Structure 1
Amino acid sequence: MQVLSRLKAKLRWHHLVHGGIFLTAIALFPILGELDLFEAFYDFSRAHEDWELDELAVLVLLLTVALLFSVIYQARHLRRMAREKEAMRQAASAKARHDPMTGVLNRRAFKEIARGVAQALSPSDAPRYIALMDLDKFNPVNSLHGHEIGDATLQEVAERLKLEAQASGTVARLGGDEFAVLLDETANAVQAERAAQRLVHEIAQPFFFGEKAVFIGASVGLVALRYGDDITEVMRRADKAMGVAKAEGRGRFSWYDADQDRQAMDRETIAADLRDAIAHDQVAPWFQPIVEIDANHVSGVEILARWFHPERGSIPPGVFIEIAEDSGQIGTLGLSVLRQACVQAKDWARPLTLSFNVSGVQFKDPNLVPSIRMVLEGTGFPPERLIVEVTESSVIDDFGEARAKLEELKALGVAIALDDFGTGYSSLTALQNLPFDRLKIDRSFVTNIAKRAECQKIVSGIVSLAQGLHLEVTAEGIETVEDLAYVSYLQCQRGQGFLFEKAVPGDQVGELLDGAWQDLPTVPVSLAKVVGT
């Protein structure tokens, strides 16, 4: 019986120990599984079922100690992984918020900070100020000294900005050679201006890299940041102010001007509308008559562009022509108007000449001659009826290039006129070097000429010069009978001006040719009163 009792007790302990081993193995499973020891441990326990209780107790104790060390190891491992993960997160966050080259904030981080400032302000708080900077004359640095010096220059710029901003300012590189500074919260408008002046001064100082010296500058736009401001709009305003600083000569600062910005936005809107209007031939040709003074009849017309906007009404040519030049649409606009004019002029009762004014921007376009050829061929308009007018400012930069282009135009069969003669600085040189057929005396010399002795001498000299060079002459700006009388006295062949007619749409030219010109003013028989003889 004792033997049986001892056997049963041993079996119970065996079961208990095996159960403990099993539970311990489960606890150690993450480690044992990684070390591939779980099966080895199980096989060991099965192979030593005959161990005594004290031996098994020692084994359980060892396993418990092992479990304790395992738990400690796992805890430390998890803490280390958490620290590494947090360090990686912080490094990634810093990298995402900082410019890798200069170490200052990037555009995204700067806008986040500025947005937070705007949200933290109250309606009664004084505004903060942002200085947006673009480096002047930086592009040549890379080409002259190499990208390594260019990068080093940007780094030095960032350091100077940080020194100027001190600890309370926020400096960022927005991209390329553009930086921004959110000024100290104690700064007022006067202090903001002083800070901007210091920034301009600091960047204007030379940057030394060994024996090399780099000279650049900075243009700064200043803008106020107020409660609830939209940061995207604030940065747009700062960019506008910076553009003004550049336009005014660079190396300076400029405040954002709301009125000026509204005008700029209005111009941008007009430019967009103009693009659509050109595409749909909504900028139409109007025609101002050119009169043969002695014969007292219309021999030609000058093409003038007119645009009636569906919402703004009539937009003056002085406005939309300038916008067309600034926005790169002047070539398309001019050819659209010329094409429409050629189509209309083909149906007129008399073969009037068309005078087409080419701006300086258009004249420099390498596609000018092929485009005019295409218009003439596409409309079937006779080239000999087209007069291309160019201003002196269009040709004085390079007489050789200008001559080549003018000869290409003459090869098409068109005539060439020098417009606004007398207003430039080298009109005589232009006449001497370029193949003009006609010249037009600028209106500033003709209007009210009977009362201006100096203009009488100038116009008399121009007409004599033209006659000597066998050039036909048109006097612009004839507004009174006295103006007409005087240019007629000087034997000027053609006249143009409000005395005859302002520009009219194409559908009214036919009426003028049908008889309305019978009432043209005639030159007085006696000119003694007019010319003082």
Structure 2
Amino acid sequence: MRYFSTLRARFAPHYCIYIGFFLSALITWPILARLEAFEWFHDYSRAHEDWDLDEFAMLIINLTFALLFSVIYQSRRLKRLWRERDALRAQAEISARYDPLTGVFNRRAFKEVLGEAIQRQAADGDSADGARFLALLDLDRFKPVNELHGHSVGDATLVAVKERLVREIGAAGVVARLGSDEFVMLFDASSDARKVERATQRLVYDLAQPIQIGEVMVHVGVSAGLVQIQSNDDVTEVLRRADKALFQARSQGRGLYAWYDETQDQQSRNRTQITADLREAIANGDIKPWYQPIVCSNKNKVRGLEVLARWQHPVRGFVSPDVFVELAEDCGLIGAMGQSILRRACLDARDWDESLTLSFNVSGLQFNDPNLIPSIQEILVETGFPAARLILEVTERSVIDDFEEAGRKIGELKDIGVSIALDDFGTGHSSLACLQRLPFDGLKIDRSFVTDISEQTQNQSIVAGIVTLARGLALEVTAEGIETAEDLAFVRELACEKAQGFLFAKAVPAEQVTALLQSDWAAFGQDAETAQGV
């Protein structure tokens, strides 16, 4: 006990030092550990085991100063890191909202600004004073600038364009860059339609002038689509309408502007929807072949049938071929549709009278398709339909671009046994050249020369000349557009071999062809006037 009392008396004055040492060790542990100071301290203490406590006290004091220094150092370091973090955050915010080249809002930020403007307009109502207008602009000849002068000149051009837009719209408006060469301007609420239109006119004129970039003179232009914002709009709808207006402006030429046209937009939407339905209809085989008879005008007998595409839409009803054939060409579906219809027609006609031919229209895109001949061969083999009974009708537009290639293709088609006829003869600019240079088997006089021919003296001379020409070239002639007894009488006088038109029959589906073929065609030889009801 006495030993412990002596020990306590000896160490009592140093309790505070021990406690300070302990706390300092706890606080400085992470730092010292990081600096690997404890290993040093262990080695150092082993080397100085004979030190007195006052020396330990001095050591603790030194460690305390080291701790304070470390805390101050770490505090300053953290403040610097915080400042750097804030700067990076601010820079990231700028990059996220502003276009790095021009310094104006980017697409993301502009959508936010436009959304806020729509909300304010909704709160104020669609009054004339609170209406907002938007202009979507696209440079007309910007791509050649990059190609000819490099991207540095292109970038400088975009900056120059931005400056002109900002100068025109003023501080109250908003300019943003949405894409490569696409800008948008949001006019302030004080602008009316007339001011917006005049500002756009000035921009169109201004940007049509040369832009000096260093030693290079750059020529660009701009097209613009204008739209008025409604309080019930959303951002996507406003930009969609502006894009439609821009498309309308560009479709009319360069350096123009156009207001959004709801009627045209609705037509465009209908076209888009019909195209989607058409794609599905072709895949499902809903585009069906119908058949119109081609009659031997002097023998009162059906010589063949022309295949015509028909589409009965489940909602829209009957869709005109003038509509969906053009759409099929525009969206690249004409080949698939043509093959589907021809395959179905060959299957239908295979069991009809072997003397009947099958005429099938081939569009320009189909004729120039490298897969045309292999696909026809495949269909003929698959269906078992004789190639000699198939007549392909092509127009002048299909062959006029390259007579040599057209002649080669026609020759290959004739080699497999298919006949080729020139359709719509007389409506093109080089119909005679087509007959001179290409090996056609027949031609079809366009209906515009035949219908009501008894009242068209000039057409009578033209048709008579065509028949004489064809006879001299040993070509079989078909006159289409026969709608009256007088039309039929005239072509019979000319000894035109075949006739086609509503006087005989309109196109009918496959299930009605048998009944059509059993009609009293002899009545046309006795009294064509009474046969119009056939």
Aligned pairs (5 A) from 1:48-447: 48-51=51-54, 69-123=69-123, 124-125=125-126, 126-447=130-451
Whether the aligned pair in 2 keeps the contact of 1:481 and 1:521 (CA below 8 Å) is: no
**Equivalent position amino acid for 2:502 in 1:** F
Q: TM-score, length-normalised on structure 1?
A: 0.88
Corresponding residue SS for 1:84 = helix
CA displacement, residues 173-205 of structure 1 (integer Å, 9 cap, x when unaligned): 323333322233432222222233333333333
Task: Tell me the CA shift for residue 258 of structure 1.
Answer: 2.1
Corresponding residue SS for 1:388 = strand
**Equivalent position amino acid for 1:51 in 2:** D
Separation in 1 of the partners of 2:7 and 2:375?
A: 115
| Residue 530 (structure 1) aligns with | none
| Residue 26 (structure 1) aligns with | 26
Closer/same/farther in 2, CA of residues 182 and 401 from structure 1, 3 Å limit: farther
Closer/same/farther in 2, CA of residues 524 and 291 from structure 1, 3 Å limit: closer
Separation in 2 of the partners of 1:85 and 1:47?
A: 50
Deviates further, 39-48 or 329-338? 39-48
Closer/same/farther in 2, CA of residues 358 and 524 from structure 1, 3 Å limit: closer
CA displacement, residues 427-482 of structure 1 (integer Å, 9 cap, x when unaligned): 22222222222111111111111112121122122222222222221111111111
CA displacement, residues 149-191 of structure 1 (integer Å, 9 cap, x when unaligned): 4444444444443443443333333233333222334322222
| Residue 504 (structure 2) aligns with | 500
Corresponding residue SS for 1:198 = helix
Deviates further, 471-480 or 509-518? 509-518
Closer/same/farther in 2, CA of residues 164 and 49 from structure 1, 3 Å limit: farther
Closer/same/farther in 2, CA of residues 226 and 9 from structure 1, 3 Å limit: farther
**Equivalent position amino acid for 1:365 in 2:** D
CA displacement, residues 481-530 of structure 1 (integer Å, 9 cap, x when unaligned): 111111222222211111111111111111122244343354789xxxxx
Closer/same/farther in 2, CA of residues 80 and 46 from structure 1, 3 Å limit: farther
Closer/same/farther in 2, CA of residues 402 and 137 from structure 1, 3 Å limit: farther
Whether the aligned pair in 2 keeps the contact of 1:488 and 1:523 (CA below 8 Å) is: no
Separation in 1 of the partners of 2:484 and 2:85?
A: 88
Corresponding residue SS for 2:293 = strand
Unaligned runs of 5+ in 2: 530-534
Separation in 1 of the partners of 2:100 and 2:197?
A: 30
Task: Tell me the CA shift for residue 308 of structure 1.
Answer: 0.8
Corresponding residue SS for 1:175 = coil
Aligned pairs (5 A) from 1:483-494: 483-494=487-498
**Equivalent position amino acid for 1:468 in 2:** G
Aligned Cα root-mean-square deviation (Å): 2.9
Closer/same/farther in 2, CA of residues 208 and 378 from structure 1, 3 Å limit: farther
Task: Tell me the CA shift for residue 384 of structure 1.
Answer: 1.6
Task: Tell me the CA shift for residue 131 of structure 1.
Answer: 2.0
Query: Could you tell me the percent identity over the aligned residues?
Result: 55
Closer/same/farther in 2, CA of residues 141 and 413 from structure 1, 3 Å limit: farther
Separation in 2 of the partners of 1:253 and 1:498?
A: 46
**Equivalent position amino acid for 2:184 in 1:** A
Task: Tell me the CA shift for residue 306 of structure 1.
Answer: 0.4
Closer/same/farther in 2, CA of residues 523 and 428 from structure 1, 3 Å limit: farther
| Residue 17 (structure 1) aligns with | 17
**Equivalent position amino acid for 2:108 in 1:** R
Deviates further, 38-47 or 118-127? 38-47
**Equivalent position amino acid for 1:435 in 2:** P
Whether the aligned pair in 2 keeps the contact of 1:296 and 1:522 (CA below 8 Å) is: no
**Equivalent position amino acid for 1:392 in 2:** E
| Residue 532 (structure 2) aligns with | none
**Equivalent position amino acid for 2:54 in 1:** W
Q: TM-score, length-normalised on structure 2?
A: 0.88
Closer/same/farther in 2, CA of residues 516 and 98 from structure 1, 3 Å limit: farther
Equivalent residues, number: 519
**Equivalent position amino acid for 2:474 in 1:** H
Deviates further, 132-141 or 419-428? 132-141
| Residue 458 (structure 2) aligns with | 454
Unaligned runs of 5+ in 1: 526-533
Separation in 2 of the partners of 1:278 and 1:19?
A: 90
